Amino acid sequence: MALPEAFMQELKSRSDIVDIVSAYVNLKRRGKNMVGLCPFHNEKTPSFNVYAENGSFYCFGCGAGGDVITFIRKIENLDYLEAVKFLAQRAGLQVPEHGVDDSMSRLRQRVLEINRESARFFHASLLKPEGKPGLDYFARRRLPMQMIRHFGLGWAPESRFALVNHLRAKGYAESEMIQANVAVQTRSGRAMDRFHARVMFPIIDLRGNVVAFGGRILTDEKPKYINTSDTPVYHKSSGLFAMNFAKNAIDNGRLILAEGYMDVISLHKAGFQNAIASLGTALTAEQARIMARYAREVVICYDSDEAGQKAAQRAIPILRGAGLLVRVMTVPGNKDPDEFINAYGEEGPARFRKLVEDCGNDVEYRLDKLRRGFDLETSDGKVQYLMEAVNVLAKLDNAIERDVYVGRLSEALGVDKSAILTQVQRSVRQEKRAAEKRQLRETTEALSARRDVVNPDKHKHVRVANAEERLVACLFAHNELAGMLREKLPPEKFVTGFNRRLYQSLLGKIINGETANAPGIGDFSAEFTPDEMGRIAAILRESSGTTAEDAERFAQIILNEGGLSDAEAIRESDPAQLQAQFEALRRQKK
Q: What is the pLDDT of residue 87?
A: 95
In this prediction, residue 562 carries a pLDDT of 66
The predicted model gives 556-570 an average pLDDT of 64
Q: Where are the beta strands (DSSP E) in 291-332?
A: 297-301, 325-328
> What pLDDT score was predicted for residue 567?
47
Mean pLDDT of 364-376: 89
**Alpha-carbon distance values, 573 to 65, 136, 167, 567 (Å):** 40, 78, 60, 10
With 0.75 as the threshold, say if the pTM is over it.
Answer: no
Q: Which pLDDT value is given to residue 333?
A: 79
Name the band, by pLDDT with cuts 50, 70 and 90, for residue 97. confident
| pLDDT tens digits, 7-41 | 888 898 899 999 999 989 989 999 889 999 999 98
pLDDT at position 585 over 50: no
Q: How many CA atoms lie within 13 A of 532 on its CB side?
A: 15
Q: Strand 198-204's sheet: what is its strand order?
A: 154-156, 198-204, 210-217, 225-227
What confidence category does residue 156 fall into, taking pLDDT thresholds of 50, 70 and 90? very high
Give me the residues paired with residue 326 across strands: 298
Q: Mean pLDDT, the chain, as a whole number?
A: 88
Terminal CA-to-CA distance of the chain, rounded, Å? 48
Neighbours of 98 (CB within 10 A): 7
Q: What is the dihedral of CA 10, 15, 243, 196, to 10 degrees?
A: 30
Tell me the average pLDDT across 209-219.
95
Q: Which residues pair with 255 in a beta bridge?
A: 298
For residues 481 and 476, what is the distance between their CA atoms, to the nearest angstrom? 9
pLDDT band with cut points at 50, 70 and 90 for residue 42: confident
What's residue 124's pLDDT?
98
Q: What is the mean pLDDT of residues 311-326?
A: 90
**Residue type (1 letter), 16:** D
**pLDDT for residue 128:** 97
Q: Which of 555, 576, 369 lies closest to 464, judged by CA?
A: 555
**Gap between the Cα atoms of 549 and 575, Å rounded:** 32
Share of the chain above pLDDT 70, in %: 91
Residue 363, C-beta contacts closer than 8 angstroms, at least 6 positions apart: 392, 393, 396, 401, 405
Mean pLDDT of 149-159: 97
Q: Of the ranges 98-107, 120-129, 203-212, 405-414, which one carries the lowest mean pLDDT score?
A: 98-107
254-258 vs 275-278, strand pairing mode: parallel
Torsion of CA 121, 123, 126, 130, to 10 degrees: 0
Pairing relationship of beta strands 297-301 and 325-328 according to DSSP bridges: parallel
Say if residue 336's pLDDT is above 60: yes
Q: At what angle do helices 530-541 and 497-511 cross, to 10 degrees?
A: 70
Nearest-angstrom CA–CA distance, 195 and 177: 12
Cα–Cα dist 584/569, whole Å = 17
- Phi-psi domain of 375 (left: phi exceeds 0; alpha: psi -120 through 50; beta: other): beta
Residue-wise pLDDT tens digits, 119-136: 999 999 999 999 999 999
pLDDT at 588 (0 to 100): 47
pLDDT one-digit tens code per residue, 442-476:
555 545 544 578 888 887 888 899 999 999 999 99
Q: What are phi and psi of 549, to 5 degrees?
A: -65, -35
Whether the pLDDT of residue 498 is over 90: the answer is yes
Q: Is the pLDDT of residue 580 over 60?
A: no
For residue 11, what pLDDT is reported? 92
- Rounded to an integer, what distance in angstroms lies between the CA atom of residue 521 and that of residue 66? 7
Backbone angles phi, psi at 10, to 5 degrees: -65, -40
Q: Provide φ and ψ at 284, rounded to 5°.
A: -115, 160
pLDDT surpasses 90 at 439: no
Assign residue 333 a region (left: φ > 0; alpha: ψ between -120 and 50; beta: otherwise). Answer: left
